[in-house]
Amino acid sequence: MTSSPSPSASPRPRPYTLVAELSHRCPLGCPYCSNPLALVPRSEELPVETWREVLDDAHELGVVQAHFTGGEPLLYQELEALVAHAESRELYTHLVTSGLPDGASRIAGLARAGLSAVQLSLQDEGEASADAIADVRAHAKKLVFAEATRSADLSLTVNVVLHAANIGNVRKIVEMARGLGASRLELANTQYLGFALANRASLLPSAEAIAEARAIAYEKTKEHFGTMEILFVLPDYVRGVPRACMDGWGRRFVHVAPDGTVLPCHAASMLPDMGFEKVTATRLRDQWESGEGLARYRGTGWMHEPCASCDRREIDFGGCRCQAFALTNDAANTDPACKLSPDHGLVRDAVRERLDPPRRYLFRGRKASS
Amino acid sequence: MSDPRDEAEVAAHSAAPRETSARRPKLAKKVRVRFDDREKKWMLLSPERGLLLNGSAKRIVELCDGTRTEAEIAALLADEHGAAPSTVAEDVTKVMHELRARVLVEPGT
C-alpha cells in the first residue's frame, strides 16, 4: 500500500529572510538587471499598512532579516516608517539601494529609524564607465551617498555586478570600495535573467577575464583581512555547477513583489501558471503554509533526472527554476548551468557566442511604464 | 538590485589570521545579537547572515566590548568554566578568526 503524503502535513521550512521589494521603479537603467521585463507600475504598489502587516507576518513565521530593495526602495515614500516598524519587530533591517534620488539627505533619518546596514550598488570604478552602464549620471551622487552613510555611522556594503564592461577593473573596484569605508564588498557576476538575459551576448565576460578577476579578489581578500570582507560570486555559466538558488525554493527566503505577490525569488513572476497570490488576497503567513506556487518546487519531490538521483540534490536543489524556464521553457528541468543537464549545451553555446566587443544594450525600464 | 548569496558559491573567502594579541576586539556596529525564541539560542545577525551561537560563543561575543584582549577574554572564560586557559584560548582564537574574517568586530580591534 502506498499513499502520497498530504502536502499540508509536512512541516514547512522556517523562512529567515524577507525580501521586501518596495517598488520596481528605479532611477538607473542597468542592462544587467535581473528584474522581470514586465515591471509593476507605481499605481499597483502596496500601501504602507499592507507592508506593516507583511512585516508582522514575516516575524511570526520566524523571519529575522528584512531586506528593503527594489527597483529602488528610496522611491517608496514611507520607507522610514517601514524600517521603524521592522525594528520594532526585532528584524535586522538592510537597505539595498542605488542611493538615488535622495539617499544622502535621508540616510540619517533612516539610521534614527533603526536601520541596521546599507548595501550600495556601484556600476564601475570610473565615473564615465559607471554612468554609461547605469545609463544615467549616477556615480558622483552615489559617492556622496556613501559618505553620508559613513557620517550616519552605518555600516556599508558595496555591491558591484560584474560583466564584460567592468570585470577588468576589479583591482580598482576593490580600492574604491575600501576608500569609501565599506566593510564588505560583493563582486557578483551577472545572473542572466530578465534584462540581463536580453543583453547576455554583450554582458558575458570571457572565462580568462573571470579567472583573472577571481585571482585578484582572492589576493585582495587576504590584503584587507579584518577590514573589508570580499565576496566573489562565481558565475554559474562557467562553473558547470548550478547555484543553490535562494538556498532552495520557498525554504529560507520569502520575497514580496511591489504589488504584493508572494514569490520564492525576485524573478519568479516570469513563470506561468504558478498560482502565486498577492498578500492583499491571502496573508503572507497563510501563503507560506499553503501557497500553491511556494510549494511547487520546494524540497526534492518535484525533480526529474538527472536531479532526482543526484548526490547534490539537497545542496543545489537543481539550480535556478527561472533559469531552467528561461532557457528550456520548462521550470522543472535541471538548470542548464549544470554540466549534467541535457541542455547544458545552451549555456556553452552562449559563452562561445558572446559578443566582443559588446553591442548596444537594452537598458532596463526603457520599455516599461513607471 | 542583487539578491542574497549562497555562501557555497563564495570562492575568495579564507585568509590567514594576523598578529592580534595586543588588540581589544569590539563588536562592529552592524552586528545585532538577539535571542531567538524558536531555537532558544542567541543569534548573531549581520548583513545577509545569521549565526546561531552556542553558550561559549555567546559569552565571547559579549566580551568583545573593546576593553579586553583575547588573552583576557580566554582567562575570564576559563575562570567561569573552571577549564584550562589553553583549551579555552583555542576556542577564543577560532571564534575571533571567524568574526574578523567577516569584519564583525571593528577593524583594528
> Mean pLDDT throughout B84-92?
88
pLDDT of residue B19: 59
pLDDT of residue A9: 42
φ and ψ of A340, to 5 deg:
-85, -10
3 state SS for chain A:
CCCCCCHHHCCCCCCCEEEEEEECCCCCCCCCCCCCCCCCCHHHCCCHHHHHHHHHHHHHHCCCEEEEEECCHHHCCCHHHHHHHHHHCCCEEEEEECCCCCHHHHHHHHHHCCCCEEEEECCCCCHHHHHHHHCCCCHHHHHHHHHHHHHCCCEEEEEEEECCCCHHHHHHHHHHHHHCCCCEEEEEECCCCCHHHHCHHHHCCCHHHHHHHHHHHHHHHHHCCCCCEEEEECCHHHHCCCCCHHHCCCCCEEEECCCCEEECCCCHHHCCCCCCCECCCCCHHHHHHHCHHHHHCCCCCCCCCCCCCCCCHHHHCCCCHHHHHHHHCCCCCCCCCCCCCCCHHHHHHHHHCCCCCCCCCCCCCCCCCC
> What is the rounded distance in angstroms from the CA atom of residue A216 to the CA atom of residue A314?
31
Domains in chain B and their CATH numbers?
25-104 (1.10.10.1150)
pLDDT in tens, B44-80: 999 989 999 998 899 999 999 999 999 999 999 999 9
> What is the rounded distance in angstroms from the CA atom of residue B88 to the CA atom of residue B74?
6
Inform me whether the pLDDT recorded for B4 exceeds 70. Answer: no
> What is the rounded distance in angstroms from the CA atom of residue B104 to the CA atom of residue B99?
5
Interface test with B, best of A75, A92, A158 (most B CBs within 10 A): A92
> What is the rounded distance in angstroms from the CA atom of residue A339 to the CA atom of residue A337?
6
Q: CB distance B13–A227 less than 8 Å?
A: no
C-alpha cell at A65: 532579516
C-alpha cell at A299: 524540497
Provide block-wise average pLDDT over 10 residues at a time, chain A (370 residues).
Answer: 42 94 96 88 97 98 97 97 97 98 98 98 97 96 98 97 97 98 97 93 94 97 96 91 95 97 96 97 97 96 96 96 97 97 96 84 63
In angstroms, what separates the C-alpha of B82 from chain A's closest C-alpha? 31
Residue B12 DSSP symbol = S
pLDDT of residue A366: 65
> What is the rounded distance in angstroms from the CA atom of residue B27 to the CA atom of residue B107?
10
Complex ipTM value: 0.88
pLDDT in tens, A143-189: 999 999 999 999 999 999 999 999 999 999 999 999 999 999 999 99
> What is the rounded distance in angstroms from the CA atom of residue A130 to the CA atom of residue A127?
5
Q: Name chain A contacts of B10, Cβ cutoff 8 Å.
A: 231-233
Q: Name chain A contacts of B36, Cβ cutoff 8 Å.
A: 64
pLDDT of residue B20: 62
Highest mean pLDDT among A324-328, B17-21, B84-88: A324-328
Q: CB distance A90–B34 less than 8 Å?
A: yes
pLDDT in tens, A224-267: 999 999 999 988 998 899 999 999 999 999 999 999 999 999 99
pLDDT of residue A360: 75
C-alpha cell at B74: 580566554
Instruction: Count other C-beta atoms under 10 Å from residue A172's C-beta.
Output: 14
Q: CB distance A244–B6 less than 8 Å?
A: yes
B 40-59 near A (Cβ less than 8 A): 43, 45-48, 50
pTM across the whole model: 0.92
Q: Name chain A contacts of B46, Cβ cutoff 8 Å.
A: 92, 117
Residue of A34, A62, A227 with shortest CB distance to B107: A227
In angstroms, what separates the C-alpha of B44 from chain A's closest C-alpha? 10
Mean pLDDT (chain B, rounded):
83
In angstroms, what separates the C-alpha of B108 from chain A's closest C-alpha? 7
Q: CB distance B43–A218 less than 8 Å?
A: no
Q: How confident is the model at residue B8 (pLDDT cuts 50, 70, 90)?
A: very low
Q: Give B45-109 as a DSSP string.
A: EETTEEEEE-HHHHHHHHH-BSS--HHHHHHHHHHHHT--HHHHHHHHHHHHHHHHHTT-B-TT-
Interface test with B, best of A110, A163, A221 (most B CBs within 10 A): A221
C-alpha cell at A30: 542597468
pLDDT of residue B5: 40
> Mean pLDDT throughout B11-17?
43
